Amino acid sequence: MDVQTIGSFINGTWLNGEADIRITDPGDNSKMSSTYHYATDEQVHTAIQAASDAFPSWASTPTSVRASYIWKALEIWQTKLDDIATIVTKEMGKPLRESRSEATRAVDEIRYWAGEALHIEGRTFESSRKNVEAYSIRQPIGPIAAITPWNFPVLSPIRKVIPALICGCTVVLKPAIQAPGPSVILAQILEEVGIPKGVFNLILGPGRSIGDIITNHPSIAGITFTGSTQVGLTIYQAAAKRNAKVQLEMGGKNAVVVAGYSDLEFAANEIVGAAFTTCGQRCTSISRIIVTKEQQKDLEKELIRCVKSLKVGYGLNPDTNLGPLSSKEQFETVKKYLEIQKRDNLGRILVEGDLPEIDGYYIRPTIITDVQPGSVIAMEEIFGPVLVLIPVEDFEQALTVSNEVSYGLTAAIFTDNQDHAYHFTMQSETGMVHVNHGTSSECHVPFGGWKMSGQGAFGISDASKDFFTTTKSIYRMYQ
């Protein structure tokens, strides 16, 4: 994808805006990745009106016809995987191997939802009255706004836009301005396959001003958001005032418990992969290790080995497996927590990785051990390559510490004790639990969190239907 200035896609037309945003390559600050036009407030209102006007026709379009656009889009998407991966790496910094994996995984998720088109099912009920049939159907809720983050600039838009279109909703997509490139490519593809005007709209610009318009607009029936808990709760409060539907995927402070597990080499490999992929900038990243003291030292040795094997560098270098942080703002945030750890003597540095000799937003992959439960770095989401290790006496204490945070997205346990595995899966206050496994997800399994990590219907799988559709019950009497 060449560096060019691109605007928003509204009602089937590409429009220029009022100002430019220039995105600097986070892995090499001497390079500019791309430039975009900000949408004006008027253009945002136009996009919402276009989605509202297009909704009745799109909602009444047979699902097989809606799916045909998605199947055609999938064919084109598969020809652009290299372009998509490259712009992801240039805009938000993740290594090219991760960017390619994300673009390729989108193929499976698009295919899954195209196949769901004929499975938007209702239910039938046996009536208690003679000559009466009772059944329910699903209908699309209306125009929806999709607000997506920068850390998964491919999968997050795909997971919202594609199921929304299949379910019969029209869409206004607002991607994070730090990495909108994949959303632009998606818009170009949907334009190429002839999606009807107004069915899909892309608006580019800052989250605060555009988000306020979207959240408060009476024509937006639902808002699906992935991002920070603070922003998600603001959206939730605003949407509640007009009873708009919300689907919120928010932050996490995810724990892994290690208690009585024999293969610590395997556990360390899984933990480090889950902690440092995307430079720790995933809502599902493991950021806390809770380990029994009897296994602490042995696990630490394996963790040191794993971190020392990480190659930190520029994302387009083929041997890089840990890139930079996405932005100066994120870089400063992670530095702040490392300074707090040093100032307040919150544990000790177990291991730090190397830094590349390049001007970018790089932080050493760091593990801090002997961290106390309840401390700042054990409780707050850092969202970077920083992993804390908390020693505990036994499994019961480990479970308590795992649940002490305000978040509840995902958790994992490595143990040979099946009783411990069972109790952890049942008592963990999270939406997802992994046993002897990292925190990766699959496209057909519900994805979401409890507590301050989520609100509304789970996403990714067919659970998304619970957000994009609403139930209507029908009674029919015969003479």
- Does some domain include residue 360? yes
Say yes or no: 100 and 141 in one domain.
Answer: yes
Residue indicated by tokens 């995307």: 278
* Mode of pairing for the β-strands spanning 245-249 and 454-455: antiparallel
CATH of the domain at 344: 3.40.309.10
Output the pLDDT for position 209. 82
Residue indicated by tokens 């009106």: 49
Residues of the chain with pLDDT under 50: 1-2
For CA atoms 139, 142, 143, 148, give the dihedral sign: negative
Write out the two tokens for 307.
């971190």
Please list the residues that pair with 476 across neighbouring strands: 133
Say yes or no: 142 and 266 in one domain.
Answer: no
Say yes or no: 358 and 467 in one domain.
Answer: no
304-341 in b/e form (b: 16+ CB < 10 A) is eebbeebebbbbbbeebbbbbbbbeebbeebeebbeeb
In the 8-state DSSP scheme, what is residue 175?
E
Residue indicated by tokens 């490139």: 181
Catalytic residue list:
249, 283
Say yes or no: 147 and 241 in one domain.
Answer: yes
Write out the two tokens for 348.
């000790």
Structural domain for 405, as ranges = 254-443
- Does some domain include residue 316? yes
- Does some domain include residue 467? yes
Say yes or no: 213 and 343 in one domain.
Answer: no
Residues whose CB is less than 8 angstroms from the CB of residue 249 and which lie 6 or more positions away in sequence, other chains included: 225, 226, 227, 232, 283, 447, 448, 449, 453, 454, 459
Write out the two tokens for 355.
């830094």
Could you tell me if 49 and 10 are in contact, meaning their C-beta atoms sit under 8 angstroms apart?
Answer: no
Output the pLDDT for position 4. 65
pTM of the shown model:
0.95
The rounded Cα 84 to chain-centroid distance in angstroms is: 17
Say yes or no: 244 and 263 in one domain.
Answer: no
- Does some domain include residue 192? yes
Could you tell me if 250 and 453 are in contact, meaning their C-beta atoms sit under 8 angstroms apart?
Answer: yes
